[in-house]
Amino acid sequence: MENPLLTESKLPYGAPPFDQIRNEHYMPAFEQALAEAKAGIDAIVANPDAPDFANTIEALENNGRTLDRISGIFYNLLEADTDDEMQQIAEDLSPKMTEYEMYVSLNEPLFTRIKTVWEQRDSLGLAPDQYKLLDDTYKEFARSGANLSPADKETYGKYVEQLSLLSLQYGKNVLAATNAYTLNVTDESRLAGLPDFVREAAAETAKAKGQEGWTFDLSYPSYAPFMKYSTDRALKRELYLAYNTKAAGGDNDNLEIVRQIADLRIKVANILGYKTFADYAIEDRMAKSPATVNAFIQQLLVPSLPVAREEVARILAYARENGFDDTVLQPWDFSYWSERYKDAHYALNDTLLKPYFRLEDCIDAVFGLAGKLYGLRFEERSDIPGYHKDVRVYDVKDGDGSHLALFYVDFFPRESKRGGAWMTEFRGQSIVNGVEERPLISLVTNFTKPTSQDPSLLTHDELTTLLHEFGHSLHGMMAQGRYGSQTGTNVARDFVELPSQIMENWAYEPEFLQTFARHYRTGEPLPAELIAKVEAAKNYLAAYSQVRQLQFGILDMAWHSLEALPEADTRHFEKAVLAPTAVMPDVPECCISTSFSHIFSGGYSAGYYSYKWAEVLEADAFSLFKEKGIFNREVARSFRDNILSKGSTEDEAVLYRKFRGHDPQPEALLEKLGIISAK
């Protein structure tokens, strides 16, 4: 039987034949692809011709395309539709993939050829994207140990392999811990305060699990509404502790794995000649150094922290005026009382807004926004399979009618999918031998499922999330370049969130909301007074939210600025780091680090600050849309030409200046959030 991962797809645009792919296909496909990729490296090394840009740098860039294609499928499904067998395959595969990566990055004859070309770079007459590819390739090899001694290369390879396995185990533990917990309620009186949509979803979950009553779990659409609306303080405390002690002990314990990962990263940094992992990681980003990052965090934190503490004090005072009989607002109380305060002072809550944000209407609106700004059209394709029955596939057409990308969307939670929301790609854009491959983009979320009574209705936060991930998707869809390593979202980590975060702004624009927000039962448009309340409440708890994000960045930098592993265990180290920025009482059992997947199993190690870095960029960038019009085609064209389509073909700071005409300043974000007054 043919292996669908190793045969050329007969589907339109080379779409993966997900309906034919089975778990047993993965390992044989990877083994063949790895052998082919190694043979390709050997061929580059054995080339008798003098090293040049084409036979060395371009050849390396285009090597291993089968491996890239299979990896794009497997590792994305490992996050979005996994099972125990796939997780075992990933573990078995990890040393093989690491061995190949080491075979390339520590290949002395290959690096000699790269270095020979790099040393001639100024005399080769290269185009700007070629020059940058050459420079990036050389630096990537140097940063991956190519200049190490043979003994150090062997040690470095062992560190990388151990890190890969530990990161996999960390992510596996987080998913298992998330799925292991449920809160089953059979006494209806304990559902007090919960709106119908929360009760109905919990009843559906209970039914699916073969349980009586109502079941809540640690997926965000289940957890967040319970914390926001429930009046049962004891149950909220139980659920909060379960959510915030994920993988912090028990059968799926990450407490020691966190320390092991941090220790290995110190060793990797040291062997490569860096004092800390943060020094190593940030070197090739816009920020360039940990000192710049730490100064940036302080620029935002210093004015935000006192305002955040005032916001929390205001919520506590309100709670005490309205029957709260404790002197301290605990973290499991905050969501409920802050929602009540918001309702009282802005007359705005999710229950009021959700009926106007039917998922299908939001999808149409987001697609329509891309049409107004960039001329894109989205045509659903029933003839192209998704990887799960919930997945829908769209053919994205550019303004001239040409094919731009395939777009896979996967909206609802399930046990086979990790929590959160993300954009990824099964294949990026590139041009090889004069033939262009357009991207295959995927958007994954965990929105509330439709029930037997109601369709999927989004909160305003979820609408914002949809716009955010769609912004990443546009970055991937609009990629234009020769080299896949430079296109789409393959940009500096602290630049990649600009296209996503700028899109969030439209969630607060009346001119956009008026185009689609209709009550799912009556068809009535979202009332103007509710839109005004959305605008008025936009900066509600802005400083609190900002400090919360900055705390994640501080914790990330603390773990990755270590020169030696601390004596304190994971919990105590974390608490000591975060104590100076606390705005809520400490809960001794809780630990962020054990489920902080972004930095311990994702790509944001020493990079979580980039969310705020990009917020500064987008605050400054969106001000141009506000000035010229939020649907202004001229501004959109400039944003597409200078940001979305360019990838990393040029330095990101240069690209930003080309769009905006100047460098951004943190004040732009502080003013937007109302933390400081506009000048």
Q: In the chain, what is the straight-line distance between the N-terminal and C-terminal CA atoms, in Å? A: 69
Structural domain containing residue 141: 12-105+107-147
Residues 6+ positions from 459 with CB-CB distance below 8 Å: 350, 353, 354, 357
**Catalytic site residue 469?**
yes
- d(CA 512, CA 366) in angstroms, rounded, equals 9
SS3 478: coil
Residue 451's pLDDT is: 86
Among 83-87, 258-262, 494-498, the minimum mean pLDDT is found in 494-498
Residues 6+ positions from 201 with CB-CB distance below 8 Å: 221, 222, 225, 448, 449, 451
The structural domain count of the chain equals 3
Residue 30's pLDDT is: 98
- pLDDT tier, 621 (very low <50, low <70, confident <90, very high otherwise): very high
What is the arithmetic mean of pLDDT over 389-411? 98
- What the block records as the tokens of 322 is 């309205």
Strand pairing report for 392-397 and 377-380: antiparallel
Cα Dmax for the chain: 83
Does pLDDT of 300 surpass 90? yes
- Could you tell me if residue 599 is inside a domain? no
Residues 141 and 188 in one domain: no
Residues 412 and 508 in one domain: yes
Average pLDDT, the chain: 96
Domain boundary among 195, 220, 246: 246
Domain boundary among 147, 167, 201: 147
Residues 187 and 140 in one domain: no
Buried b / exposed e over 177-191, threshold 16 CB at 10 Å, is bbbebebebeeeebb
- pLDDT tier, 679 (very low <50, low <70, confident <90, very high otherwise): low
Contact between 543 and 675 (Cβ < 8 Å):
yes
pLDDT tens-place string over residues 634-661:
999 999 999 999 999 999 999 999 999 9
Does pLDDT of 664 surpass 90? no
Residues 412 and 474 in one domain: yes
Which CATH number does the domain housing residue 499 bear? 1.10.1370.40
Residues 131 and 213 in one domain: no
pLDDT tens-place string over residues 93-122:
999 999 999 999 999 999 999 999 999 999
pLDDT tens-place string over residues 582-591:
999 999 999 9
pLDDT tens-place string over residues 482-540:
999 999 999 998 899 999 999 999 999 999 999 999 999 999 999 999 999 999 899 99
Residue 255's pLDDT is: 98
Q: What percent of the chain has pLDDT over 70?
A: 100
Residues 402 and 469 in one domain: yes
What is the arithmetic mean of pLDDT over 12-34? 97
- Could you tell me if residue 322 is inside a domain? no
Residue 419's pLDDT is: 87
What is the arithmetic mean of pLDDT over 144-170? 94
- pLDDT tier, 348 (very low <50, low <70, confident <90, very high otherwise): confident
- Could you tell me if residue 318 is inside a domain? no
One DSSP character per residue, 381-424 reads: -TTS--SSTT-EEEEEE-TTS-EEEEEEEE-S--TTS-SS-EEE
Q: Among 80, 197, 243, 214, which residue's Cα sits nearest to residue 459?
A: 197
- What the block records as the tokens of 610 is 């980039």
Select which of 204, 462, 469, 504 is catalytic: 469
Strand pairing report for 440-444 and 422-427: antiparallel
- Could you tell me if residue 442 is inside a domain? yes
Residues 521 and 466 in one domain: yes
- d(CA 286, CA 34) in angstroms, rounded, equals 33
- Could you tell me if residue 39 is inside a domain? yes
Residues 396 and 456 in one domain: yes
Residues 219 and 126 in one domain: no
Does pLDDT of 354 surpass 90? yes
Residue 552's pLDDT is: 98
Which CATH number does the domain housing residue 77 bear? 1.20.1050.40
- Bridge partners of 407, per DSSP, are 394, 441
- What the block records as the tokens of 141 is 């090899």
- d(CA 567, CA 333) in angstroms, rounded, equals 33
**Dihedral sign of CA atoms 600, 601, 606, 610 in order:** negative
Q: Among 371, 312, 368, 376, which residue's Cα sits nearest to residue 540?
A: 312
- Could you tell me if residue 278 is inside a domain? no
- Could you tell me if residue 259 is inside a domain? no
Residues 217 and 131 in one domain: no
- Per DSSP, 589 falls in state T
Residues 112 and 212 in one domain: no
- d(CA 202, CA 195) in angstroms, rounded, equals 11
- Alpha helices by DSSP H, listed for 108-219, are 108-119, 128-143, 150-180, 196-208
Contact between 102 and 37 (Cβ < 8 Å):
no
